[in-house]
Structure 1
Amino acid sequence: MAFDRVLTIMDELRENCPWDRKQTMDSLRHLTIEETYELSDAILEKDLNEIKKELGDVLLHLVFYARIASETGDFDITDVMDSLCKKLVDRHPHIYGEAQADTEEQVKQNWEQLKIKEGNKSVLGGVPGSLPALVKSMRIQEKARGAGFDWEDREQVWDKVREEIDEFRAEFKAGAVHDTERAESEFGDVLFSLVNYARFVDINPETALERTNKKFITRFQYIETKAKELGKSLKDMTLAEMDVFWNEAKTLKK
């Protein structure tokens, strides 16, 4: 089997390769994060061949952690998979038990209630502290919704967005010296409310922002290319000149 071959190769590398022998869970951690982001990029680009390769890299890291833990007798890859299977069965009583869940929302609510029964002190306890802030805000709101704490409709959320924007703008009234810390807090409220609205209209804010980042990069690099063709640097160009190329870039196939 292919998975058995992966395990065999991992064992051989751990025993014979100086680099692989040296690695610890701590040393692999930042590399795992990097691989996860590379997988995310491939998914955004809809590059299936690259997705396949990046999934392999992520799988390598999972196998690597399990191999390291097996050396100290804490757990091995079989324990990892057994634990996963148990959790999946336990968290889906509507499939493997007597519970009822006919909608996605009911499944999410059951999931959060089960996690509380398993020992989580808070519905929000399962949100990793090291998540990027935008992703974290989305997960916090999803979990709160799973516990029944949410707005009733999206118009209420949009009213909240406008309220938060007005409060942020009020920090910059003409002639007033703004309080940076307070302004930052108000800006955070604006972002949080926008994430909330995005959730209500089925938009993933992290994906949306990253697509805009990529779009900006593509258009800005187009300006750089055109400037180079003219023998100019961006510093030598006026904003009006750059705007011409920016608008050209907007018409190109994405």
Structure 2
Amino acid sequence: MPDTPYTIADLLRVMQRLRDPDGGCPWDLRQDFQSIVPSTLEECYELAAAIEQGDYPHVAEELGDVLFQVVFYAQLGREQSLFSFEEIVHTLVDKLLRRHPHVFADGDIEGRVEAQCEVAEVKRSWEAIKREERAARSQRGVLDDVPVALPALPRAQKLQKRAALVGFDWPDARAVLEKLDEERNELREAITTGDTAAIADEMGDLLFTCVNLARRLGLDAESTLRHASAKFERRFRVMEAALAEADGRGLAALTTSELEALWVAAKARD
């Protein structure tokens, strides 16, 4: 362990050494932009899990892993003369200054804006600036830069938020609930026909409407579902533990009514 903490410069040098054809890491040398994308996504999810668990020492470690992904892409960019880590930082700082005129007067890091700004005003300004940026990239459609690679729930929510910016939105959550009832009825009808394609289509509409309802209620669909999944997992494990203490049988050996009784007990204990 060195006497002084390692720096960003040390991290960049480590990355250079890992990718050095003369004595570098064989695995790192085989990677390219496409091959490390799965690792990037995995690291982000591990960071999210650590935050949800409130395990902040682990959060710091996971943040380091996410930073390593950025440094890896930067090294690949430098090797191919596409961009450097310094350019990544410059682009980010420039964008932050541009998108926060209510903080940085005249786009200067030390420039101060004296007048206080409300959150709603910040959001309006943010979206206006992003529209200008999309126009500069010839992305004139409202939905043009919503990434296709986003997971389904956050992508649905982002599409809905974008549409809402131009007034294409439900007036309130009650109206979305009515639409939810409509979609449930359409799904029932599709199930009755047995048409697999229609069932899948209506199920998708139902899920999309659920995301819309979460948004209108001020909830993040991804976080809300992750919370529900964690709750289900926690209660299911309580069921397993209770059954193991009682007679050692597995859940698969129980009747529907016995499973329901265990579930009710697990909910009561939660």
* Class of the TM-score when normalised by the shorter of the 2 chains: 0.7 to 0.9
**Shift, 1:89, TM fit:** 2.5
1:240 aligns with 2:257: yes
Other-structure match for 2:226? 210
With normalisation by structure 1, the TM-score equals: 0.87
1:203-246: per-residue Cα shift (whole Å, max 9, x none)?
A: 11111111111111122222223333322122222223233332
Q: 1:189 to 1:97 in 2, by over 3 A?
A: farther
Structure showing greater relative contact order (alpha-carbon pairs closer than 8 Å, 6 or more residues apart)? 1
* Residues in 1 aligned to 2:193 and 2:155: alpha-carbon distance in whole angstroms: 32
Letter in 2 for 1:252: R
In structure 1, stretches of 5+ residues that fail to align are none
Partners of 1:164 and 1:13 in 2: CA distance: 53
Residue 151 of structure 1 pairs with residue 151 of structure 2: no
1:186-206: CA deviations, max 9, x gaps?
222222122112111111111
Which 4+ stretches in 1 moved above 6 angstroms?
Answer: none
The aligned counterpart of 1:12 is 17
Partner of residue 188, structure 1: 204
Deviations 1:27-74 (A, max 9, x none): 211111111111121222222222211111000010011011111222
Assess if the C-alpha contact under 8 Å between 1:14 and 1:20 holds in 2.
yes
Question: Counterparts of 2:140 and 2:128 in 1: how far apart (Å)?
Answer: 16
Give me the TM-score of the superposition, normalised by structure 2.
0.82
**Of 128, 131, 143, which residue of structure 2 is paired with 1:110?**
128
List aligned pairs for 1:102-181, cutoff 5 A.
Answer: 102=118, 103=120, 104-119=122-137, 120-172=139-191, 176-181=192-197
Distance in 2 of aligned mates of 1:41 and 1:158: 30
Counterpart check, 1:63 vs 2:71: yes
Offset at residue 91 of structure 1 (A) = 3.0
The residue aligned with 1:30 is 38
Q: 1:169 Cα shift?
A: 2.6
- Structure 2, unmatched stretches of 5+, are 1-5, 107-114
Matches within 5 A, 1:63-102: 63-96=71-104, 102=118
* 1:201 alignment counterpart: 217
Please give the secondary structure, in 2, of the residue aligned with 1:126.
coil
Residue 252 of structure 2 aligns to a residue whose secondary structure is: helix
Are 2:99 and 2:126, in contact at CA under 8 Å, matched by a contact in 1?
A: no
Tell me whether 88-97 or 157-166 shows the greater mean CA deviation. Answer: 88-97
Corresponding residue of 1:249: 266
Offset at residue 5 of structure 1 (A): 2.2
Seen in structure 2, the aligned counterparts of structure 1 residues 37 and 96 have a Cα distance that, compared at 3 Å, is: same
Distance 2:101 2:163 in 1: 21
Q: Is the 8 A contact 2:214 2:220 kept in 1?
A: yes
